[in-house]
Amino acid sequence: MRAAVLHEIGQDKLEVLDDVEAVGFGPGKVKIRVRATGLCHSDLSAMSGVLPQPAPFVPGHEGAGEVTDVGDGVTGVGPGDRVLVCWLPACGACPSCKRGQTHLCLAGLMNAGTPNFKRPGGDVFGFAGTGTFAEEVVVDAGCAVPIPDDLPYEVAALIGCGVTTGLGAAINTARVEAGSSVAVIGCGGVGISAIQGARVQGAAQIVAVDPVASRREAALRFGATEAVAPDALADAKQRVTAGEGFDYVFEVVGRAATARTAYETTRRGGTLCVVGAGAMDDLFQVNMFELFFDEKRILPSMYGGGDVLRSYERAVALWRAGRIDLEGLITHRVRLNGINDALDQMRTGEALRTCVEI
Ligand SMILES: [Zn+2]
Ligand SMILES: [Zn+2]
């Protein structure tokens, strides 16, 4: 079957190959014919080495499709069921799951060290244990989450990562209060989802910050009350908050420099919510005086920071009610053959989300 493979970390092009096979099917596993997958910034970060990932690997972790086969002991889904791929399934038994912090369960990510595919050249891994830039994937039963019939595959795919991450940051982690002021730094698919989450929560002002003009225009369509380039953020802080700083600032870039700007843009006692996934050697610095004296809350948000399955259901309910726009996030569509052009559009910041039809 076809899949897009990165041969070595640091390369910027994928090779679309026809000789790849999904492996590992057996008890407790589900085989999925992937129909749509979103291109998430984390795929680029894994390719460049910012996020740890063994190679060669098939990127993609934001997908949806139909179940074609299930292994012994799988009861939740069967052949023909429509599902989205959850890259961080909760095991239900580890200390994090027992505490109710199922988004911190590491059981699923432990599979990331086991090859998901093979080809004549040898083993091939799947990003985050999935690898949805492929016609077929084999995943743990917990990764195959049934979706309702009215949810298109391409929208379900986005709920599998970017939408859940952004909405959850605003609703679960920061718990944005009605009437508050919000700034969102970084307005790709995840940042736009944080904007929509802040709007759903009733924020009064939402300032979108991004260097790319097309993303600033998009942010306004999705609920930002104004959109500025990064060099105009200090002025917006002065104008919107009388210089005090925003109640909530979302960092959706994943760099220490923008996190520091976000920290300085947050009011005393306000909340800095860190959503971007950054590198292990990129250090965020806060001095001990300001940390104590300004009492700013620094809240990281991983995969939306709440129960993942509950967050999926909430995204579907909000989408069905017309309270959030998910179709509008998809600015580009490609087939697997066009994946390298899509990666370039992601790098330039042209695309909010590219849907890869498979
Ligand atoms: Zn667990
Ligand atoms: Zn993602």
User: What does each C-alpha distance from 34 to 58, 310, 317, 356 come to in angstroms?
Assistant: 13, 23, 23, 10
Q: How confident is the model at residue 113 (pLDDT cuts 50, 70, 90)?
A: confident
Residue with token string 């052949």: 79
Q: How confident is the model at residue 307 (pLDDT cuts 50, 70, 90)?
A: very high
Which class in CATH covers the domain with range 166-300?
alpha beta
Residue with token string 């520091």: 260
Q: What is the pLDDT of residue 262?
A: 98
Q: What ligand has the least distance to the C-alpha of 102?
A: 1
Q: How far is the CA of 75 from the centre of ligand 2 (A)?
A: 27
Q: How confident is the model at residue 185 (pLDDT cuts 50, 70, 90)?
A: very high
Q: How far is the CA of 301 from the centre of ligand 2 (A)?
A: 13
Pick the CATH number of 3-161+307-357 from 3.40.50.300, 3.30.1300.30, 3.40.190.10, 3.90.180.10: 3.90.180.10
With a CB cutoff of 8 Å and minimum separation 6, the contacts of 67 are 30, 31, 32, 33, 77, 78, 79, 80, 81, 82, 83, 144
Instruction: Give all strands of the β-sheet with 122-126 in edge-to-edge order.
Output: 21-22, 117-119, 122-126, 57-58
Judged by average pLDDT, the poorest of 6-10, 86-90, 269-273 is: 86-90
Q: CA 86, CA 144: separation in Å to the nearest integer?
A: 6
Please report the sign of the dihedral spanned by the C-alpha atoms of residue 218, residue 147, residue 34, residue 30: positive
Q: How confident is the model at residue 110 (pLDDT cuts 50, 70, 90)?
A: confident
Angle subtended at Cα 311 by Cα 309 and Cα 317, rounded to the nearest 5 degrees: 105
Residue 112: pLDDT above 80? Answer: no
Q: Output the average pLDDT for the chain.
A: 95
Judged by average pLDDT, the poorest of 104-108, 138-142, 166-170, 247-251 is: 104-108
> Could you give the percent of the chain with pLDDT greater than 70?
100
Q: How far is the CA of 102 from the centre of ligand 1 (A)?
A: 6
Q: What is the pLDDT of residue 126?
A: 95
Residue range 299-310: mean pLDDT, rounded: 95
Q: CA 103, CA 82: separation in Å to the nearest integer?
A: 23
Q: What is the pLDDT of residue 333?
A: 93
Q: What ligand has the least distance to the C-alpha of 43?
A: 2
Q: For the chain, which residues make up each domain, given as ranges? A: 3-161+307-357, 166-300
Residue 47: pLDDT above 80? Answer: yes
Q: Which two tokens stand for residue 239?
A: 């104008």
Q: CA 168, CA 136: separation in Å to the nearest integer?
A: 29
Same fold, 3-161+307-357 and 166-300: no
Q: How confident is the model at residue 269 (pLDDT cuts 50, 70, 90)?
A: very high
* The CA-based dihedral angle spanning residues 291, 243, 302, 98, taken in that order and rounded to the nearest 10 degrees: 60
Q: How confident is the model at residue 321 (pLDDT cuts 50, 70, 90)?
A: very high
Residue 115: pLDDT above 80? Answer: yes
Q: What is the pLDDT of residue 109?
A: 78
Q: How far is the CA of 244 from the centre of ligand 1 (A)?
A: 41
- How would you write 68-88 as a 3-class SS string? EEECCCCCCCCCCCEEEECCC
Q: How far is the CA of 38 from the centre of ligand 2 (A)?
A: 8
Residue range 60-85: mean pLDDT, rounded: 97
With a CB cutoff of 8 Å and minimum separation 6, the contacts of 66 are 32, 33, 35, 80, 81, 82, 83
Q: How confident is the model at residue 300 (pLDDT cuts 50, 70, 90)?
A: very high
Q: What is the pLDDT of residue 137?
A: 97
What pTM was computed for the model?
0.95
**19 compared with 347, residue with greater pLDDT:** 19
Q: How far is the CA of 162 from the centre of ligand 2 (A)?
A: 5
Alpha carbon 249 to chain centroid, angstroms: 18
Residue 343: pLDDT above 90? Answer: yes
Q: How far is the CA of 88 from the centre of ligand 1 (A)?
A: 9
Q: How confident is the model at residue 349 (pLDDT cuts 50, 70, 90)?
A: confident
**Which residue, 68, 67, 69, 73, is CA-closest to 27?**
73
Which alpha helices (H) appear in 146-302, and where do they start and end?
153-159, 162-168, 189-201, 213-221, 233-241, 256-265, 288-293
* The CA-based dihedral angle spanning residues 113, 133, 251, 311, taken in that order and rounded to the nearest 10 degrees: -90
Using alpha carbons only, how large is the chain's radius of gyration in Å? 20
Residue 50: pLDDT above 80? Answer: yes
Q: What ligand has the least distance to the C-alpha of 87?
A: 2
Q: How far is the CA of 205 from the centre of ligand 2 (A)?
A: 27
Q: How confident is the model at residue 302 (pLDDT cuts 50, 70, 90)?
A: very high
Q: How far is the CA of 86 from the centre of ligand 2 (A)?
A: 10
